[in-house]
Amino acid sequence: MPKPELLLPVFLLPLCLAHGAVRAAETGGSPDKSVFNLFNPVPENLMRELAPDRPDATETPHTVDAGHFQLEMDFANFTYNRGDGETTHAWNVAPVNLKAGLLNNVDLQFVLDSYLHVHTENRTTGTTALSGFGDFTTRLKINLWGNDEGRTAFGLLPYVKFPTSTDHLGNDAVEGGVISHSR
């Protein structure tokens, strides 16, 4: 398992590259918000519309304004899957996505599957029921263009999933990757 401090460059390099790319891509049609950051928040009158991210459901290339926070949470999610001799019912209770606007075009996200209950019926292996906490994922959304204006937008979302799940609900592995989003 990689040490967390070794993953820091994975987040810092895209952050630096994206900040320069966005500043170059922005036009004079909107105010220059590049001076704002986590500790110097975007004023309310310059904030963009809320763009929620429900991981794997409605993710967008838009970020949270610098210096602002966004909490996204579902009461519960239910998934039903049937096929190949197996039926699965899964509940995810109170999944959370906490987002912090670091720069005008970058936000940091913490995603947690708070409580999971997975019931599987398999014709060959029988029935299993697993319950407990899910994995923890950190994500860094980087908007390369179209965050504040324009007909198109594009963003990158590097992520690292940490194996925090209980009762064999995860694969006990650190995983990572990059997701791209456009509109």
Tell me what pLDDT residue 56 has: 63
d(CA 43, CA 91): 39
d(CA 22, CA 16): 10
Reported pTM: 0.78
d(CA 118, CA 112): 16
Q: Is 46 exposed, middle or buried (0-12, 13-18, 19+ CB in 10 A)?
A: middle
Does residue 151 or residue 25 have the better pLDDT?
Answer: 151
Element (H, E) at 20: helix 4-25
Tell me what pLDDT residue 31 has: 82
For residues 182 and 154, the answer to whether their CB atoms sit within 8 Å is yes
Pairing of β 76-83 and β 86-93: antiparallel
* pLDDT, mean over the chain: 86
Tell me what pLDDT residue 50 has: 83
For 53-82, what is each residue's pLDDT tens digit?
776 667 889 999 999 999 999 899 999 999
For residues 138 and 108, the answer to whether their CB atoms sit within 8 Å is yes
Please report which confidence band the pLDDT of residue 154 belongs to, taking 50, 70 and 90 as the band edges.
very high
